[in-house]
Chain A
C-alpha cells in the first residue's frame, strides 16, 4: 500500500501514462478491426496487380466480355462472378474460348498462374464475388461417407456416381472429374460454370464441400473394386463389351467346335 504513494495521480508521469494507454488501446483496436476486415475479403490485391489484370483482360477477354466486363451479345458480364470464376475458367483452359459451341471445351491452359491471378484480381475488384479458396478448404480430411452421399444426391445425376461425367441436352455435357483438382472442384461448386447450377455455402456448407472433395479425391486415387472400369460409363459400355467381345469369342469357339479336324 505504501507503493501507491510513488505513482499517485499527481505524479508527473501520470499524464504520460494515460496518453500512452490511450494510444495503445485505440491503435490496437484499429489493428484488430483492420485484421478482421482483411480476413473477410482475403488478401485484397494491390492496385498494381489489378492494373496488370486489367491490361490482360483488355487484350484477351474484352472482345467478347466487353471493355468493362459488362458483357456483350456473345458473352455474359463478368461483374460479380468473382475471382473463383476466373481462376476456374482460365485455370482449367476453358477460357479464352477457342470457338463458340454448346459449351467451352477444356484445352491447354493459356496463361501463367500469376497472370490468371492478376485477371482474377481485376474481375474481383469490379464487384464482390466468390473468392479463390485457400488451402484450408481443400484439405482431403472431410467425412468420406457423408461426402459420397452428398455427391450422389447433388452431383451424380450429371457427373456420374464416380465422376466419370455424362451427357446433357443439345451437345452440352457434364465433364469427367477423374483428373480435376480440388481447387477447381471447389470453384465450380461456388461459381456454377456454364450450365452447372451454383452450390453456394448456404446450400452446401464449407464442410460439406470438403466432404465432397474428399470423396472425389478418394475415387480418383483408388482403383475400382469391381475390376476393369471400362470408362465407368455403366451398362451401355459394359453391354457393348459383352456383346461384341464375349459373344465374338463364343462365336469363334462355336466355329471351332463345328469344324472338322485336319
Chain B
C-alpha cells in the first residue's frame, strides 16, 4: 500500500496525459464486456407463446377496464353518508382500489407488451463529444463579435452603463413588495394575553376560573387566561399559542428554588406550556418525578427545580407565571411572563 501511494503513476489516454495525484488506480481487470449475445425470446420462437403473450396483454388491459368501471360503480354503491363517518372508509377504499386497477392494468400491460412482443434487438448508440468542432467554435465567436460590433455594446459606454444600472434596480420593487407578505410581528412575540391586566387562571377549554383549593397535590390543570375562550377564532388561537399555561401543585418542601416558591402560591406553580425549543406544547407531566416532557423532541424539564432543562434540545427553562390569590379564593396572574415565552427568535437576547 505504502509503495503504491508513493508512486505517482501517470496514466495516459489517447488524447492527453494526466496525473492521478494520491489516488490509487488499479488496472481495469474486467474490461469492457461489450453487448451480451442476443437471446431469442420464447415469444419469437413459438407462435403458441406469442399468442399467450397477446392474450396476457389484452387481459391486463381488460383488468384496467374492469377497474375503471368498478370505481364508477363503487362511487355510487358506497356513498359517503355524513351521519356515519365509517362509510367514508368503504367509499375511499373501493374508489381507490378501482382507480388503482385502472392505472395499474394499463401500465403493466404496456410494459408486458413491449417486453414480449415488440422487437428486442440490442442497439448501442455512440456518445458524441461535448466539445464542438473548431469550425463551429470559430463561427460562434465570429457571430458574437459581429453582434457586439453592430450593436456597439462595447463602444457606447453610456448605454452600457445605464443598462447595468437598470438591471441592478429592476428586482428591488419585488423585494419591497415582499415586506407586505405578512404583518410585522413588532413586539407581539414578547407579550402574551396575561400582560393585559390582572387575569384569573381558567380551565382550558371552558374558561371556568380555578380556585386555589381546587388544585390538589399531584393534579395538573391546563390553563388559559380568563376571557380567552370568548375571542374570535384565528385571534383566539394566536393568543392561546402564547398564553397556554400548565398549573401544578407540588409539596412546598419539594420545591428547590426560592423564586419558584415566591412566584407560586402554597406550592401551586404555573409555567408556560410552550417549549423553549421549537414551541410544542409541553404537557407530559409525571406526578412523582416532577418531570415535564415535550412530546416533539423529548426535552425534559424539572418542575421541582424551576423547570430547568434536564434532557433534550431545549436550551432555556420554561418561563414561570407569577400567581396570587384574589379575595374570592381564585388564582390570578398579576401580570405577564417576565421573559418571552416559547422558542428563541432573532431579536431575543439570550
Residues of A near any B CB (own CB < 8 A):
149-150, 153-154, 157-158, 166, 168-169, 172, 174, 192, 194-200, 202-203, 222-227, 256-257, 260-262
Contact = CB atoms under 8 A, between A and B. Distances in A.
B218 A227 contact: no
Main secondary structure of the interface of B (DSSP, over half): mixed
B146 interface: no
B214 A195 contact: no
A197 B220 contact: yes
A250 B116 CA distance: 21
Pairs A-B, 4 closest by C-beta atoms: A202-B214, A195-B286, A197-B220, A261-B115
Given A192-B287, A195-B286, A202 B216 contact: yes
Interface stretch (B35-43, B161-169, B230-238, B342-350): B35-43
Given A157-B283, A197-B220, A202-B216, 20 more contacts: A157-B281, A166-B295, A192-B219, A192-B287, A194-B287, A195-B287, A197-B219, A197-B285, A197-B287, A202-B214, A202-B215, A203-B214, A203-B215, A203-B219, A223-B86, A223-B89, A227-B89, A227-B92, A256-B111, A260-B39
Nearest to A224: B89
B284 A158 contact: yes
A246 to B, nearest CB: 13
Interface string B308-330: 00010000000000000000000
Nearest to A160: B295
Contacts of A192: 218-219, 287
A240 to B, nearest CB: 19
A157 to B, nearest CB: 4
Contact of A260 (B120, B205, B283): B120
21 contacts: A166-B295, A168-B293, A169-B286, A192-B219, A195-B287, A195-B288, A196-B287, A197-B218, A197-B285, A199-B219, A200-B216, A202-B211, A202-B216, A203-B203, A222-B86, A224-B89, A225-B89, A226-B89, A227-B93, A261-B41, A261-B120
A198 B204 CA distance: 16
Contacts of A196: 287
B41 A262 contact: yes
B46 to A, nearest CB: 12
Contact of A262 (B42, B281, B300): B42
B176 interface: no
A153 to B, nearest CB: 5
Contact of A225 (B85, B115, B285): B85
B22 interface: no
Contacts of B216: 198, 200, 202
A81 to B, nearest CB: 11
Contacts of B204: 153
B291 interface: yes
B94 to A, nearest CB: 12
Categorize the interface residue count of chain B. 35 or more
A166 B286 CA distance: 13
Given A166-B295, A168-B293, A225-B89, A153 B285 contact: no
Contact of B300 (A169, A223, A257): A169
B198 interface: no
B158 interface: no
A157 B292 CA distance: 11
A256 B112 CA distance: 10
Nearest to B295: A157
Contact of B205 (A153, A166, A199): A153
Nearest to B104: A253
Contact of B218 (A154, A168, A198, A202): A198
Contacts of B220: 197-199
Interface string B271-311: 00000000001011111110101010010100000000001
B246 to A, nearest CB: 10
Contacts of A256: 111
Nearest to B292: A169
A214 B160 CA distance: 77
B213 interface: yes
Given A225-B88, A261-B43, A149 B286 contact: no
A172 to B, nearest CB: 7
Given A169-B289, A195-B289, A197-B285, A261 B116 contact: yes
Nearest to B312: A169
A169 B291 contact: yes
Contacts of A257: 111
A102 B288 CA distance: 12
B195 to A, nearest CB: 23
A88 to B, nearest CB: 15
A124 to B, nearest CB: 18
Nearest to B218: A198
B271 to A, nearest CB: 14
B307 to A, nearest CB: 15
Interface string B79-93: 000000110110011
A168 B295 CA distance: 9
Contacts of A261: 41, 43, 115-116, 120
